[in-house]
Structure 1
Amino acid sequence: MTTAKPQQAPTAAPGAVPLSGPRFHTDPARLYREMRQEHGPVVPVVLPGDIPAWLVVGYRELHHVTGDTTLFTRDMGLWNQWPNIPDDWPLLPMVNRRQPSIYYTVGAEHQRHVDMVVPALEAVDPFELRRHAEEIADALIDAFCGQGEAELITGYAKLLPILVLGRIIGFPDSEGPELTRAINALADGGEDAIAAHRYVQDAMSRLLAAKRAAPGADVASRMLACPGFTDEEYILDLTAITAAGHLPTSDWIGNSLRLMLTDDRFAASLSGGRHSVGEAMNEVLWEDTPTQILAGRWASRDTSLGGQRVQAGDMLLLGLQGAHGDPGIQGEGQATTGGNNAHFSFSHGEFRCPFPAQEIAEVIARTGIEVLLDRLPDIDLADPSQTLTRRPSPFLRGMTALPVRFTPTSALGSAR
């Protein structure tokens, strides 16, 4: 992996926007609009610890960055800020040059990981996946359906994806709740992010040992059947699959349910048909995408982008949600619905989320929403919509809680 030449690391550009604060949670559309008005489609930002970066919020500029892997590479070894990054930097789990995984390699080495991971995901039976999703969704709903009220994020949206992924990846249901806590702590980038990252890797190490002892019809066993990888590489790829599969899927469920419970356009479907579930899910990918900002790309040489002078080794953050609001592709405040899939929610280009992973996420999310609406057809918000709060992360956009009420009903498990 390429290492940057020793040099004085660049400092933040004048007027750089801190990549923190409540506006990323309360009104990101207006914040991105103000960023574009002041700086254009490429915005100078500051990460924790006064670390400078560029946030790409222009649709065409983001398409260019994600499409040109030579100029804007995934080789984070080029980063000119490494001398300023402490070992306990909270965002280090998201940007780590020492991780030889599918998300942190380039060129032939990246393709080697793709050739192991993608076939292991492609072999997941979609009918078995949906059966797992329905079974787990029913079990989770059984736990609260008789109470007439529930909190759907902690008790449902955050548990369903990790439990379904566990079934297909190979770890037991009992690992789910603690893995959920650790993965979310890792992603939120707080003080416990490093410890959470260590816990997730330890869990994947246990999974690796278990599958070596007793292989099964699961993703982990299929990956192990592909030789030539170290234990560290297997563990890191399993960590990447699990975290990248769980986090956006759980927020996709939560954000879609929030939309359907707060927007009159979707109210009719809550008492009957499923025709608008897909529409809500697609609108969320445009207007309220679970992954708002993705790290990242690194400039391989000095260049210009969106009117900004980008130096070799600068980090570029992919402003997925900011690009979706680019007035050059749609009017400000105009919802993008229907079958338009030209969004960046799964990224774009060579490092786009693999299609099998996208399909797995969609099956889990759609099944979770449909089963919930089938089981609890008169579900409604228990608190005013304006009191709902978001997770404390500029990178991910999900609900911290979604309290609902409904007519109590019997658990399906008791009738079996």
Structure 2
Amino acid sequence: MFVALGITLFYIIFVWFVFFKAQWLKFNVAWGIVSFWVGAHLLLIFLVALRFFQPFSADSHVVRSTIQILPKLTQPTLLTEVLVEPNTIVTKGEPLYRFDDTVYELAVKKAQAQLVGAQQNAKILEQDVIAAAEAVERAQAQLAYAQTQKARYENLVPAGGARQDELDRWNEQVTEDKALIKEAVANLEKANLALDSQIDGVNTGIIQAQAELDQAQYFLDNTTIYAPENGMIVSQQARPGLVVGDIRLGAIASFVTEDNPYILATFRQQNLKFVEVGQPVEVALDLYPGEILTGKVEAIWWATRQGQYLPSGRLPGFELPELPGRIAVQITVDVPEDRIFPAGGHAAVAIYTGQGKSFEFLRRINIRLYSFANFIRPLDI
């Protein structure tokens, strides 16, 4: 807009000087038509060249990544301490919020006791194997004795040296001892299976108890929330007394990160014909009138919402949008250390594609006029 006004004003002054001030030519209807035709085309040439070779956008904002602070707790828990001041930079790892940890400490103690019990049970399983093996040996010894007695009475009964009922008793004893051996062998196998229930040489009962202890410790650790990165809480709404837990669906705060901010500028699609990653950029941040920051094109977001269709049972409808979708360009800016780069800060951006360099000075004038105009714009004093 400033460029168009400047070119128009310059041409009007030029026409005035030629026809009225210096009177090199006599102004008439024919010269009026020619002057208008030349001026309109001159303005059009400049505007088209600037539009494609040095695209400009006043729809640009500073973007900083935000992290939603969401407590990971298993039950409603009371917020006891708020350890961070709003709008104050904190470093990664600093505590932000502390919750009541009474229930979670008890859960850890319970899990620790269960782990000790599981470790003792693993030792008991080893003794069960030994006892089962000894039971097999005893059953085998009893069977051998019974078989010996059975053979002895089988020789005595025909000779009249013993009664038939004694032989029958030892036959029954042999049968019973064989069953006892099968039972003892089964118990030994069962004890071995229980002992062999391991993962990487560790009893599964111990692994399960250790996992429950780790989970209890995890939730206990989460009763204190730490800063995930360098950054700050902007709007501090959480206060002691707030209850959070499994019934809360949203975050209690938004953490604005300090690292890797960028500007996201939107352009009409045709203006990006010659724009490429790495091209130099000038930025006029509204926060600092009269100053120009430098940067470069980091990425072009070749996608808009108008190009997305979500899965549904409805057939797509095609309607001409009121405005064509604009394409966003991500820009990294060289921000001086003594300057603030606020999230949501508004700016104007000019990209220099390297083509049409003879027109480049006009865009540089344009963005500087925009920056200086921020001293008085908007007129809401």
Q: TM-score range by the shorter chain?
A: under 0.3
How high is the TM-score relative to the length of structure 1? 0.16
- Bigger strand share: 2
How high is the TM-score relative to the length of structure 2? 0.17
Bigger CA radius of gyration = 2
